Amino acid sequence: MNTIGKNIRLTSYGESHGSVIGAILDGFPAGFSVDIEAIQAQLDRRKPGQSALTTQRKEEDVVTIDSGVFEQKTTGAPIHFQLKNKDAKSKDYNHLKDTYRPSHADYTYEAKYGHRDYRGGGRSSARVTAGWVAAGALVQDFLLKSNEIKIGAFVKQIGAVNLDSSDRYYTREEVDASIVRCPDVTLASEMIKSIEQARDEKDSLGGIIECVIAGLPAGVGEPVFGKLHANLAHAMMSINAVKGFEIGGGFAMSGRKGSEVNDSFSFTNGEVKTKTNYSGGVQGGISNGMDVVFRVAFKPTATIGKAQETINQSGDKTDLEASGRHDPCVVPRAVPIVETMAALVIGDLLIK
């Protein structure tokens, strides 16, 4: 299951410490002018080593497109995106060869395949999402220029520091003004301090990313097993470290009355709108023309330097203090991943 999508299909390949990583995008329409700078900009937002709060692995993550594009326009053929791994330090992971990291995929991969790549997590590493971002950034650019659909995500929460966002769309300039990608300057400073403290304690933090899709017309989504929010949930839950997804009012609606959270319709400036947006822009699995608003919860990074009790392949207890280069919090770098995966979902539903 390395492919997602039906009409536009993304196939992912590569490992954290392999020679290359990337993706193949099939089904993308011909004749679209490829803006390589727009693609690279999203990769730069995702790449490691971009600030003191991220892993210090240094990867340029410069993408090459090896097929499917001629004279800077898509041809309709499969598009191949490739990135080279240049700063892999596999010896840093030798101590993990026979040890299962708590809450990591070490044990489950070995249970499934009988063999695992322990170098940086191999195929289970978030490193492989670089290919997803490259392909998804092309689709994101297409949706903006061809359909005027804007997709923007931001960091809503890190640890206990939370932004009450009021379901609004933030520009990339607002989001990227801070290295934690929270558009509220004061809260961003608190988030930075929280991450720095966790890092200094050899620990990690999780958080929440909120994403807003603006400009999506009513009628997008396929009942009953192709619901818009179900497809978004599938894509988001496929991202490394994601443990939760909610749309609109989400879990909080379970403690409210229908009269409090039902979205009443109105006819405004010749368009059908709702007075509130507890539905998150989706009703019956189909978009209603309001902004699509959803949130994605990320767990704290599993690999930490603080001592933890675990076992090795022989079943013997051992204390693990993991070394290597790891993000104390993956959330800021995951913002472009959420955006581009959302673009792949919307593109798959719109482009047929």
* Digit-coded pLDDT (tens) for 318-345: 888 877 667 899 999 999 999 999 999 9
Instruction: Tell me what pLDDT residue 57 has.
Output: 67
Q: How much is the average pLDDT of 52-60? A: 75
Which residues span the domain enclosing 153? 3-350
Instruction: Measure the CA–CA gap between 113 and 6, rounded to whole angstroms.
Output: 27
Q: Are 195 and 205 in contact (CB under 8 A)?
A: yes
Instruction: Tell me what pLDDT residue 197 has.
Output: 96
Crossing angle (nearest 10°) for helices 331-350 and 36-46: 140
Give the rounded percent of residues in the chain with a pLDDT score beyond 70: 96
Instruction: Tell me what pLDDT residue 36 has.
Output: 98
Instruction: Tell me what pLDDT residue 272 has.
Output: 94
Question: Of the ranges 11-25, 33-47, 299-313, which is most confident?
Answer: 33-47
In total, how many domains does the chain have? 1
Q: Is the dihedral of CA 176, 155, 294, 81 positive or negative?
A: positive
pTM, two decimal places = 0.94
| CATH number for 133 | 3.60.150.10
Instruction: Measure the CA–CA gap between 245 and 235, rounded to whole angstroms.
Output: 10
Q: What is the pLDDT of residues 95-147, one digit of tens each?
A: 777 888 888 888 898 899 988 877 767 788 888 999 999 999 999 999 999 99
| Range from 113-122, 174-183, 256-265, 315-324 carrying the lowest mean pLDDT | 113-122
Instruction: Tell me what pLDDT residue 352 has.
Output: 81
Q: Are 176 and 45 in contact (CB under 8 A)?
A: yes
The residue ranking higher by pLDDT, 305 or 137, is 137
